[in-house]
Amino acid sequence: MNILTQNFNTPFHTAPFDQIKNEDYLPAFKELISESEKEINDIVNNPAAPTFENTIEAMAYSGEKLDVVSNIFFNLNSAETNDEIQKIAQEVSPLLTEFSSKISQNEKLFERIKKVFDEMSLRIPSDKKNQDKSADEKDNYKLNEEQQMLLNETYKGFVRSGALLNEEDKKKLEKINIDLSTKSLQFGQNALAATNAYFKHITKKDDLAGIPDAILSQYEEEAKERKLEGWVVTLQYPSYVPFMTYAENRELRKELALANGKKSFDGGELDNQNLIKEIITLKQQKAELLGYKNYADYVLEERMAKSPTKVLDFLNELLIKATPYAQKEIEELKTLAKADGIGEMQSYDHAFYAEKLRKAKYDFNDEELKPYFPLNQVQDAVFTLAGKLFGLTFKEVHNIPKYHADVQTYEVYEVQNQEPRAKSQESRAKNQDNENQQPITDNQQLKAILYTDYFPRKGKRAGAWMTSYKNQYTKNGENSRPHISIVCNFSKPTKDTPSLLTFQEVTTLFHEFGHALHGMLANTQYPNLSGTSVKWDFVELPSQFLENFCYEPEFLKTFAKHYQTEEVLPNDKIEKIEQSKNFMEGYQTLRQLGFGLLDMAYHTHPEEVNDIKSFEDAQTLKTSLYPVNPETAMSPTFSHIFQGGYSAGYYSYKWAEVLDADAFAYFKETGIFNPETAAKYKVLLSSGGTKDPMELYKAFRGSEPQVESLLKRAFGE
């Protein structure tokens, strides 16, 4: 019996990680794909006339078990992978893509969808044809706002997946999708393997001058794990970034920067340059088949921004504003470097001298602050914040299976009637999660299961992210609650110290928790409109919004306490943190704009990509503030756009900054813990993709977001 195809006999039907074997995956996928195909066939062959309920809604609830197993497998492929899982992924991805293509190209299914869509589009209350319909037929027109959104999105999804293509072109599109799936997966596997392949073994302590003791302990632990004497630095974020920030040995900084910049760009078996060309060519072919000029046009049709022109105008407007500030910042760094005898600063000098300048300006560095930010305190703080704003409580439990010993699990509850909330939220809160068999008291109900996974390891890709193992949805009156996960790469605790976070890592945890709140607070009817299932350039609003609280003295004092003495972070340090919020903001803005412009170029002009390095350099020329190294490139590890979902969408980080700056300005105006403001924002989070994001935002804020909010926060304009 395959555990993955059965109902999970675990608390809240959570993933039975402790029972799953790698050999379970492929048979489970095949069986569940077959079951899902049967569900679709039952919809197609229903003898009754197509209705919203028997066609659109039935589809929304189909394939649930397949979705759960897919989430388990691909989340593990990011957080706890190995050679065997990666091999299985190469087999599974084409199967899933083929299954998806079969659905999107099922002509009889699309006929039913189109009939419902066309009838709904013709709905006019005074239309005589409507008046002549039977009572049963009239019932088909009583759709609420969420149902109407589901209908529209379902129809558009099929059209955008090739439902209107002829048979020959449908087959072409299916092959393109399969190729894209496998090549994108290979891109990510190569980037991870290249990251893991490098390490620098250091035996002379003099070579580590300038590096704080806590980081040295981390490097020493890494060496011991590899059964080596001395210290080991890797290209994993918690190892690489501190080295580049504090190491006085410029030659070693150069060596590591070169290694980092050559990942998947060295002509070896893990090189991604040809994969990039193949991926963007396939995307262009897909766009043209579907009637679009390029892949960016195809993607942006379903974004708030709507078009490449609007995106480029937005990015270039910020570029004009930010460039003078960035240039001024770099000149300050060059002055410091010149005092050390460096005639021409390089990119690998930036973090080192930026840290020097920050210390000179604000009299602190990340290592000095780290003792005040032990991971457990920071996590408690973000839990407390969720309680103050949204009435959530978190209970750590030990009976939910985990995929690694480092993972922690929590039951998340909502305390009822504690704060004012919108009426729609009150009515939704009455839903009881019968599926999860969670008893609900008079004043609380289960909202979510939360997994946290904080430390780097060989099988985990770099970076930080939020994901879900199960979406929230409501069916037959039962509100099925989500299973959410936060994955990061913070420094592991040592025998002497707990995991201590840099302030940047503090904001990272808040960022990912903002995404998690979007998932945990979800209260929609359909799983594909729930939580973070929103327009891509809207999805970063909740995450970036929550980072703002890290800079609020009132809140910061509640958790920034020394892990040994419990001393609260001194006021002067808190003031410096607040003052330093926009430190190097010009530089960081140009860096992000460079990524966004490069992304748009790849997906608007793929025909110009002959040489990856030359193309990258040309597109990022206006945002480059240091000499370009001919031996390095970032495109071969630009997983956001070649593996993840940010193709033609990287601009959304800056786009969402406008939203988050404007939203937090509203909180500041009314009080950062104002219950009425928080209740309105909670409605925005809980609504997922059930409404147009701009309408959701205006309902919360009272107006459209203003770019001036971002400029004022960043540059004081």
Active site residues: 512
Please give the Cα distance from 564 to 556 (Å, whole number): 18
- Which two structure tokens, joined as six digits, stand for 80? 């706890």
Please give the Cα distance from 178 to 533 (Å, whole number): 23
60 contacts: CB under 8 Å, gap ≥ 6? 150, 154, 526, 527, 528
The interaxial angle of helices 585-604 and 652-670, nearest 10 deg, is 140
Burial class (CB in 10 A: 0-12, 13-18, 19+), 464: middle
Beta strands in 555-625 (DSSP E): none
Query: What is the distance in angstroms between the CA of the first residue and the CA of the last residue of the chain?
Result: 64
- Which residue in 511, 522, 576 sits closest to 549, CA to CA? 511
Please give the Cα distance from 648 to 289 (Å, whole number): 18
At 414 the three-state DSSP class reads strand
Helix ranges, 198-249 (H) = 213-225, 237-246
- Which residue in 44, 51, 3, 48 sits closest to 23, CA to CA? 3
The interaxial angle of helices 652-670 and 675-686, nearest 10 deg, is 150
CA-angle at 113, arms to 526 and 294, nearest 5°:
90
Please give the Cα distance from 638 to 633 (Å, whole number): 10
At 692 the three-state DSSP class reads coil
Please give the Cα distance from 524 to 466 (Å, whole number): 19
At 247 the three-state DSSP class reads coil
